[in-house]
């Protein structure tokens, strides 16, 4: 009897100690490192996403006019890397703050879009079904709450799960995000630590939704997430370098599926190219075309709170003399007219739904895809600083839709003749 009591006491003490040790590490990390930063990948433990033997190379030919505009626009903007690719050719590439083309830069929530691609691949392989309840793959959740059976994989993809989660502020060590970002055993937090806040169906940005997908992918593929990414995307796409993916701890090695994939700028661009080409590479279907089709139209994403399958859509604007002119422009160019607003000068700014979309990360990480203009833009860096325009405006409107040309000094007649001769 005494031995039994002692064993129960010892086991209880062990559980409490383990919990508090993990909590202490989480609190220490959050205090020592504070808010998320682009250098976090330097201290966080990680695993390797291996590249293959072949390396796909973009052509390169600098667009002098675009470079003139961007060199000025990016000055002191907290940007670490900026790349523009048009028609498979790098037309602008620049690095700042001692980073270069070989640097592994962190992407934060851009990683969510990679996870979405892996879900699409796993579904094509018959390993899961987006319409199935998540309890089909994580049955242990039913012991916590039977209502987990109402949440489908698709709900997770579209941030509609209803799972209770505090996204901000990350620096508070007791928020849900802090437990994911700084915790040392996030797999257990998914399988034994979640609660439901509301019925599924309403969009609410929750990083935990993507982390649950990461655990499901682990379960159905029977391999670590970084290995599945390497096998299905990194090697087939001819990535330039091995990537790294941050994990919770050296011991548990659970990939932070919701963030923190670290790679070269060009390799992030290759992922954008994969979606630009409807999921194909060299004639081989890497991500199912039907899966890409769910996210390659801004109109489709716009109907889902600007967010679908872990990609974001965009809107664009132009200035017209009247609101009617803006609407006529939309009809003539097959664009969805969203709204118009009269300016102080009497003209109207009209907004249109775009067909372009992005993988986004906190602090201004972008993988931008524009299938109409055949453009990819990658921006990596710290919080955007620029007094002239927002980062989204720079990427969507000025670069993606060519408005930077309106910002350039007007050419003299002699300069125009010289350009035509060249």
Q: How far apart are CA 22 and CA 224, in angstroms?
A: 22
Query: What is residue 19's predicted lDDT score, i.e. its pLDDT?
Result: 45
Reported confidence tier of residue 422, pLDDT bands at 50, 70, 90: very low
Q: Above 60 in pLDDT, residue 417?
A: no
Q: How far apart are CA 238 and CA 2, in angstroms?
A: 63
Q: Above 60 in pLDDT, residue 13?
A: no
pLDDT, tens digit (0-9, with 9 covering 90-100), for 43-68: 899 999 999 999 999 999 999 999 99
Q: Above 80 in pLDDT, residue 196?
A: yes
Mean pLDDT of 365-374: 96
Q: How far apart are CA 74 and CA 388, in angstroms?
A: 11
Query: What is residue 69's predicted lDDT score, i.e. its pLDDT?
Result: 97
pLDDT, tens digit (0-9, with 9 covering 90-100), for 339-356: 999 999 999 999 999 999
Mean pLDDT of 198-210: 97
Q: How far apart are CA 195 and CA 103, in angstroms?
A: 39
Q: How far apart are CA 355 and CA 95, in angstroms?
A: 28
Q: Above 80 in pLDDT, residue 370?
A: yes
> If you average pLDDT over every residue of the chain, what do you get?
89
Q: Above 70 in pLDDT, residue 284?
A: yes
Cβ atoms of 359 and 113 within 8 Å: the answer is yes
Q: Above 50 in pLDDT, residue 9?
A: no
Query: What is residue 173's predicted lDDT score, i.e. its pLDDT?
Result: 58
Cβ atoms of 225 and 215 within 8 Å: the answer is no
Query: What is residue 6's predicted lDDT score, i.e. its pLDDT?
Result: 45
Cα angle: 368, vertex 122, 236; to 5 degrees: 60
Top-tier CATH class for 2-36+104-288: alpha beta
- Domain ranges across the chain: 2-36+104-288
Mean pLDDT of 200-223: 97
Helix ranges (DSSP H) in 240-365? 265-276, 289-293, 298-302, 323-332
Query: What is residue 298's predicted lDDT score, i.e. its pLDDT?
Result: 83
Q: Above 70 in pLDDT, residue 414?
A: no
Mean pLDDT of 204-208: 96
Query: What is residue 179's predicted lDDT score, i.e. its pLDDT?
Result: 82
Mean pLDDT of 186-200: 94
**Is residue 109 classed as helix, strand or coil in its secondary structure?**
coil
Mean pLDDT of 85-92: 98
Task: Give me the percent of the chain exceeding a pLDDT of 90.
Answer: 74
pLDDT, tens digit (0-9, with 9 covering 90-100), for 121-159: 999 999 999 999 999 999 999 999 999 999 999 999 999
Q: Which of 126-135, 207-216, 383-392, 407-416 has the lowest mean pLDDT?
A: 407-416
Strand segments (E) across 291-371: 307-308, 311-320, 336-342, 348-361, 365-370
Strand segments (E) across 177-246: 243-246
Q: Above 60 in pLDDT, residue 16?
A: no
Query: What is residue 30's predicted lDDT score, i.e. its pLDDT?
Result: 58
Cβ atoms of 200 and 145 within 8 Å: the answer is no
Mean pLDDT of 386-395: 93
Reported confidence tier of residue 176, pLDDT bands at 50, 70, 90: confident
Helix, strand, coil: what percent of the chain each, to 5?
A: 40, 20, 40
Query: What is residue 31's predicted lDDT score, i.e. its pLDDT?
Result: 59
What is the pTM for the complete model shown? 0.89
Q: Above 90 in pLDDT, residue 26?
A: no
pLDDT, tens digit (0-9, with 9 covering 90-100), for 227-274: 999 999 999 999 999 999 999 999 999 999 999 999 999 999 999 999
Mean pLDDT of 264-287: 97
Query: What is residue 174's predicted lDDT score, i.e. its pLDDT?
Result: 62
Q: How far apart are CA 207 and CA 250, in angstroms?
A: 22
């Amino acid at each position: 009897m005494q031995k039994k009591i002692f064993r129960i006491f010892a086991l209880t003490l062990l559980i409490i100690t383990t919990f508090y040790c993990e909590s202490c590490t989480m609190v220490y990390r959050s205090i020592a490192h504070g808010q998320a930063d682009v250098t976090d990948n330097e201290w966080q433990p990680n695993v390797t996403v291996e590249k293959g033997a072949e390396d796909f190379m973009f052509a390169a030919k600098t667009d002098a006019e675009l470079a003139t505009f961007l060199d000025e626009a990016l000055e002191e903007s907290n940007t670490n890397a900026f790349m523009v690719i048009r028609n498979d050719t790098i037309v602008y590439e620049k690095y700042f703050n001692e980073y270069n083309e070989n640097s592994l830069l962190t992407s934060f929530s851009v990683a969510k879009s990679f996870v979405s691609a892996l879900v699409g691949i796993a579904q094509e392989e018959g390993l899961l079904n987006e319409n199935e309840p998540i309890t089909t793959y994580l049955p242990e959740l039913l012991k916590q709450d039977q209502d987990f059976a109402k949440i489908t994989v698709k709900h997770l993809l579209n941030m509609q799960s209803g799972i209770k989660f505090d996204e901000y502020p990350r620096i508070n060590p007791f928020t849900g995000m802090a437990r994911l970002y700084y915790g040392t055993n996030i797999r257990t937090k998914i399988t034994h630590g979640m609660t439901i806040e509301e019925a599924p169906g309403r969009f609410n940005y929750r990083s935990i939704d993507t982390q649950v997908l990461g655990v499901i992918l682990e379960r159905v593929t029977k391999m670590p997430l970084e290995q599945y990414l390497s096998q299905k995307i990194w090697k087939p796409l001819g990535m330039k370098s091995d990537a790294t993916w941050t994990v919770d701890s050296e011991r548990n090695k659970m990939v932070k599926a919701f963030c923190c994939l670290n790679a070269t700028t060009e390799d992030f661009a290759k992922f954008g190219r994969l979606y630009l080409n409807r999921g194909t590479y060299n004639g081989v279907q890497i991500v199912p075309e039907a899966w890409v089709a769910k996210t390659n139209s801004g109109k489709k994403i716009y109907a889902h709170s600007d967010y679908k399958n872990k990609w974001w859509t965009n809107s664009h604007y132009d200035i017209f003399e009247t609101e009617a002119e803006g609407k006529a422009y939309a009809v003539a160019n097959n664009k969805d007219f969203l709204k118009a607003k009269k300016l102080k000068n009497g003209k109207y700014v009209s907004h249109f739904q775009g067909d372009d979309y992005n993988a986004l990360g906190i602090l201004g990480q972008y993988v931008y895809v524009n299938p109409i203009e055949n453009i990819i833009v990658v921006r990596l860096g710290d919080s955007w600083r620029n007094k002239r325009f927002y980062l989204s405006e720079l990427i969507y409107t000025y670069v993606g839709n060519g408005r930077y040309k309106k910002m350039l000094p007007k050419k003299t007649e002699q300069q125009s003749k010289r350009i035509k001769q060249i």
